[in-house]
Structure 1
């Protein structure tokens, strides 16, 4: 991945030098221009794959963190999410802040340091997952944003049911269904 960042940097330099030369001499190099465009499209495709791959990885990481960290070492934060409370803030929201700061740091680092450009796309993937999590978990399931939402979509209903099963247990141990955007088919009909 590192060589791709420097390759595109050199390709951009070459392309602009070539364009200037073409403008001055009137000579065009269509084959080389197509090669440059192919390289750029390949880089764009790999960057999109990196964003989507990070998004998919985050579901597995979120499952692991939810089961072993939030219901483990950091239960003192996560417990606020399993008990009824008044107000909009839960200590559990600190996890979202941690993920948000991490994603922001990756995006800034990747955008500032050319050789670490790939980190920017990892940050975009984490951000995309965070937005999806917020919409599904906080808006649709827990109704922390007051909107009317009804669905007949089997996938969404399965995830919602799985999350409700998870919240039947108000203790650190004994819970199941730790995923956020994926739930096994056993939660299809309860």
Structure 2
């Protein structure tokens, strides 16, 4: 496969994963697999939740595509790379930035990231299976951009050492 073809397949797969994630979240996780996804919508004292098992499905799919396409670096390999890339970004945006599961990134002054965070918080406003909105990860409704632009960005206060 040519370099251009590899980039095209990886990019198309990455972008397609946003639709797959939205569809699965809306119709499967808030549908027949709610019994697993529910753990993500309620407060709990545990570090992990049943919802975390979903990464096994996408991780396994990505791994299988990479393994079976690695000998010839055909489209399967690059599809696996696209899914893995989306999964990596999903982890950092969703688990690290939005939910703070790793505490190294607290607040952002970036309008897009603030709008994304607002949309996700709106999704979690409902703790039940029904009534949620904003099921995607990277695509944000324009109304949240407007809100992010109207609300001031968080200020950063640098702690300075006391001068004697």
Aligned with residue 122 of structure 2, among 136, 155, 165: 165
- Determine if the alignment matches structure 1 residue 155 to structure 2 residue 155: no
- TM-score with structure 1 length normalisation? 0.75
Measure how far apart 1:149 and its partner are: 2.6
Measure how far apart 1:140 and its partner are: 0.3
Instruction: Indicate if the aligned counterparts of 2:9 and 2:79 stay in contact, CA closer than 8 A.
Output: yes
Deviating beyond 3 angstroms after TM superposition, the runs of 4 or more aligned structure 1 residues are none
Distance 1:110 1:91 in 2: 31
Give 2:44's aligned residue.
85
Give 2:34's aligned residue.
75
Distance 1:168 1:130 in 2: 24
Distance 2:105 2:24 in 1: 30
Residues 86 and 108 of structure 1: CA distance in aligned 2, closer, same or farther (over 3 Å): same
- TM-score with structure 2 length normalisation? 0.86
Measure how far apart 1:88 and its partner are: 1.3
- Structure 2 unaligned segments of length 5 or more: list them: 149-164
Q: Residue 46 of structure 1 aligns to a residue in which SS?
A: helix
Q: Residue 88 of structure 1 aligns to a residue in which SS?
A: coil
